[in-house]
Amino acid sequence: MMAESTLVLGLDPGTAITGYGLVREVDGGLQAVDYGVITTPARTPLPARLQQLYHELTALIDWRTPDSAAVESLFFSANVKTAMAVGHARGVALLALAEAGLSIAEYKPNEVKQAVAGYGGADKFQMQQMVAALLDLDALPQPDDAADALAVAICHPQHVALPAPDRRVGPRRPPRQASRPPPQRSRRRAPPAR
């Protein structure tokens, strides 16, 4: 498990709506500290929307002082325009997190679903129900973007507790030494070509 009373910031980035969720892990249990969305006005030029997202994320990080962050990976769908917009927002979010000095993990949507619902193909409603149950919330978290961000935050401590080979915390262990040396193989030289 992570250190006692660890606060994780989960993000579900988007240019129009970015969901955030702060989850505290205390004595093996999870508690929702805060969640919501950062919205940017439609018809505002993209650079201004990204700037607003950056400033609001930075203010949230400064106010809540999370210990680490988790961001949902980009999911490529058939809509390239949407994927590009999400990519812009992810870049801004990653920059804000990195400048705050936070350790950052990224999780694919199916990894988050597996960690929260136990099934990588869970739908939005199943995810909201599980997030509410795991965090002991009185109602389903709304809007969807905030629920997704809480799910990302819930996923993070599970992956840190049981690191995958590509997400190890700290230095890698040296390779195991064999208990006995491998058998010697004779090396035959190929006969000279004639």
Q: What fold does the segment set 6-166 form as a domain?
A: Nucleotidyltransferase; domain 5 (3.30.420)
The token pair that represents 175 in the structure block = 């390779």
Residues 22, 34 contacting (CB under 8 angstroms): yes
**What DSSP letter does each residue of 144-158 carry, written as one string?**
HHHHHHHHHHHHHHH
25, 111, 145, 148: the active-site residue: 145
Residues 73, 94 contacting (CB under 8 angstroms): no
Contacts of 19 (CB under 8 A, 6+ apart): 11, 12, 35, 36, 37, 143, 144, 145, 146, 147, 148, 149, 150
Residue 72 known to be catalytic = yes
Residue 144 known to be catalytic = no
4, 25, 62, 72: the active-site residue: 72
Q: How far apart are CA 38 and CA 115, in angstroms?
A: 25
pLDDT of residue 150: 97
Q: Tell me the whole-structure pTM to 2 decimals.
A: 0.79
Query: Which residue in 92, 69, 54, 74 sits closest to 22, CA to CA?
Result: 69
Q: What is the mean pLDDT of each run of 10 residues along the chain (194 residues)?
A: 75 95 88 96 95 97 96 74 84 96 93 92 93 95 95 88 40 42 43 50
12, 25, 111, 148: the active-site residue: 12
User: CA 50 → CA 70, 92, 102, 111, 183, distances in Å?
Assistant: 19, 7, 20, 27, 61
Q: What is the CA radius of gyration of the chain?
A: 22
Residue 4 known to be catalytic = no
In terms of residues, how long is the chain? 194
